[in-house]
């Protein structure tokens, strides 16, 4: 079957087609496809990865934003009954109709990686596993430990256990990006680590701390909650958190306790 690897990438869509067969096979291994799995592929591009996973799963749903590629993929794989190619933006595509126990795989455009990940992690019908190609710096933020945490670390680690499965050189793509990429694998929990209730207030609290990440929490959060530094110190101590710590020092459990204390005071 023709690879269509000669397709011209559109800079406006941040397209960098993954063409290295060895890397593509590694990604397939990381997905751990079972015969009854439904695979949701985000950004199939020219279909090189699609071709590999079609024979391994009962159904593949490919979400592609580029209408030209949608037409090409439908023509290329017209003999496959287990493939559905959908013209849509993965950042707001509703996964409610896909059924349970599906897995997500994709080579994500760098500009859309964070919103796509969060969209599926926070979905009412989340996948069981995600294997994604992202910028190396993004992958490192996702797996960061307390001391180096970022907003993205919290946003992902609440919902699943991430690990970096490998790195990809720019030459593995057409056209080559200017940065190194990484394969990130996320095994989602059956339930989020934190049952925060009001997700908006929780992440509002997290964002406010990271917006002034160089400041100690007693200072960065007192502005968000509109209390004095002394009161904020008391709130942090009630949550078992040192007021001199900074946002990057907190674990997921720390954020959960802090949000509960803030909620109990009707300050969030």
CB count, 10 Å around CB of 197?
A: 10
Q: Which pLDDT does position 264 carry in this prediction?
A: 85
Q: Which pLDDT does position 54 carry in this prediction?
A: 95
Q: Where are the domains of the chain?
A: 11-188, 199-264
- Pick out the chain residues at pLDDT < 50: 1-6
Q: Which pLDDT does position 149 carry in this prediction?
A: 97
**pLDDT tens-digit profile of 52-70?**
999 899 999 999 999 999 9
Q: Which pLDDT does position 5 carry in this prediction?
A: 47
- Indicate the pTM of the whole model: 0.89
**Residues 141, 150 contacting (CB under 8 angstroms):** yes
Strands 38-42 and 160-168: unpaired
Q: Which pLDDT does position 7 carry in this prediction?
A: 63
DSSP character at residue 177: P
Spatial separation of the C-alpha atoms in residues 44 and 155, rounded to whole Å: 25
Contacts of the segment 239-245: beta carbons below 8 A, 24+ positions apart: 241/217, 243/216, 243/217, 243/218, 244/216, 244/217, 244/218, 245/216, 245/217
Architecture, CATH, for domain 11-188 = 3-Layer(aba) Sandwich (3.40)
Q: Which pLDDT does position 196 carry in this prediction?
A: 80
**pLDDT tens-digit profile of 98-122?**
887 899 999 988 889 999 999 999 9
**Residues 132, 160 contacting (CB under 8 angstroms):** no
The side-by-side arrangement of strands in the sheet containing 181-188 is 83-87, 59-64, 38-42, 102-107, 129-135, 181-188, 160-168
Share of the chain above pLDDT 70, in %: 93
Residue with tokens 């699943």: 160
Q: Which pLDDT does position 1 carry in this prediction?
A: 46
Please tell us whether the domain made up of 199-264 is placed in CATH 3.40.630.20: no
């Amino acid at each position: 079957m023709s690879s269509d690897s000669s397709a011209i990438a559109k800079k406006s869509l941040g397209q960098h087609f993954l063409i290295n067969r060895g890397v593509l096979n590694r990604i397939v291994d990381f997905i751990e496809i079972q015969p009854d799995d439904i695979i949701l592929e985000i950004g199939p591009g020219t279909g090189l990865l699609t071709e590999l996973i079609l024979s391994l799963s009962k159904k593949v749903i490919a979400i592609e934003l580029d209408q030209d590629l949608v037409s090409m993929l439908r023509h290329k794989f017209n003999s496959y009954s287990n493939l559905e190619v959908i013209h849509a933006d993965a950042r707001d595509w509703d996964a409610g109709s896909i059924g349970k126990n599906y897995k997500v795989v994709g080579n994500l455009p760098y500009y859309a990686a964070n919103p796509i990940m969060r969209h599926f992690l926070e979905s009412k019908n989340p996948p069981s596993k995600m294997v994604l190609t992202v910028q190396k710096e993004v992958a490192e933020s996702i797996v960061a430990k307390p001391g180096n945490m970022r907003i993205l670390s919290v946003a992902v680690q609440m919902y699943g256990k991430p690990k970096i499965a490998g790195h990809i050189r720019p030459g593995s793509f057409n056209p080559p990006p200017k940065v190194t990429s990484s394969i990130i694998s996320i095994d989602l929990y059956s339930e989020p680590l934190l049952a925060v209730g009001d997700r908006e207030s929780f992440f509002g609290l997290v964002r406010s701390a990271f917006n002034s990440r160089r400041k100690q929490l007693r200072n960065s959060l007192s502005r968000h909650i509109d209390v004095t530094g002394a009161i904020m110190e008391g709130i942090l101590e009630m949550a078992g958190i040192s007021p001199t710590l900074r946002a990057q020092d907190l674990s997921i459990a720390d954020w959960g306790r802090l949000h509960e204390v803030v909620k109990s005071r009707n300050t969030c």
